[in-house]
Amino acid sequence: MTYCVALKLNAGMVFASDSRTNAGLDQISSFKKMRHFFNRDDRTLIILSSGNLSVTQNAINLLEQRSLQQEIRNIWNVNSLFDVASLLGDCLREVRDRESVFLSQSNIDSSVNFIVGGQIKNEAMRLFLIYAEGNFIEVSEENPFFQIGETKYGKPIIDRVITPQTPISDAVKCILVSFDSTMRSNLSVGFPIDLVCYKNNSLDLDFQHLTQDYPYFIQISRCWGEGLRNVFASLPNPHWLKELPPPF
């Protein structure tokens, strides 16, 4: 399992992914779930992946291989992020069709998801969620983010905080709290965390690689935990409950 999240804000975009992959308690390893393709003069693309590692890696490798063939439509010559999402969806379907017999006979879960986003020159920033079947949807103004993988523990803080008007700095804090909450509740999500910030129309990336001893993450985790305990202590007691008598 893994956890990936991407936000589309007015000021820019933020992408984050963990690197833990496991096939049981005694088979835990790290693989990058984030790939980026960028040309500072033309386009910046970020892809996050979750699910079957073989399928996701083969789909992205096929996408990258085709990007070297100038005579066909590829991520470097299409004119929109919609086209990029379509190309990745096509690669995913091709890989799943090729491996479907083996995966089904071996009783292997082949479900995967991708998030692809970024910006192509002369087009606004865009963000897409690609499903296992290769079809996809685009982020909305009402819900300006996508999550894939182990999403349930980190979603509440994003739901409460993130709007299109959220500054990138606040979005980074929110994402790190989201990861902290997820990693505390699920051992299948873990360090290192890859974090990328993209400012609107910059066509450039700010990349951070966070390990478990990364000072800022430690500070965020400590402050968030202390803040939660303080807020919880300040909540009013249920007025309908009577105080229990002291023990003898």
Domain architecture of the chain: domains with CATH: 3-234 (3.60.20.10)
Tell me, what's the pLDDT at 107? 61
Distance of CA 111 to the CA centre of its chain: 16
Residue 47 has a CB neighbour count (10 Å cut-off) of 28
Give the model's pLDDT for residue 121. Answer: 94
Partners of residue 117 on adjacent β-strands: 46, 127
- Report the amino acid identity of residue 30: S
Rounded to two decimals, the pTM is: 0.90
Give me the average pLDDT of each 10-residue run along the chain (248 residues): 94 94 49 88 95 92 95 96 98 87 64 96 97 95 95 96 97 98 91 96 94 96 97 91 71
Q: What is the pLDDT of residue 24?
A: 46
- Mark residue 244 as left, alpha or beta (left: phi above 0; alpha: psi -120 to 50; beta: remaining): beta
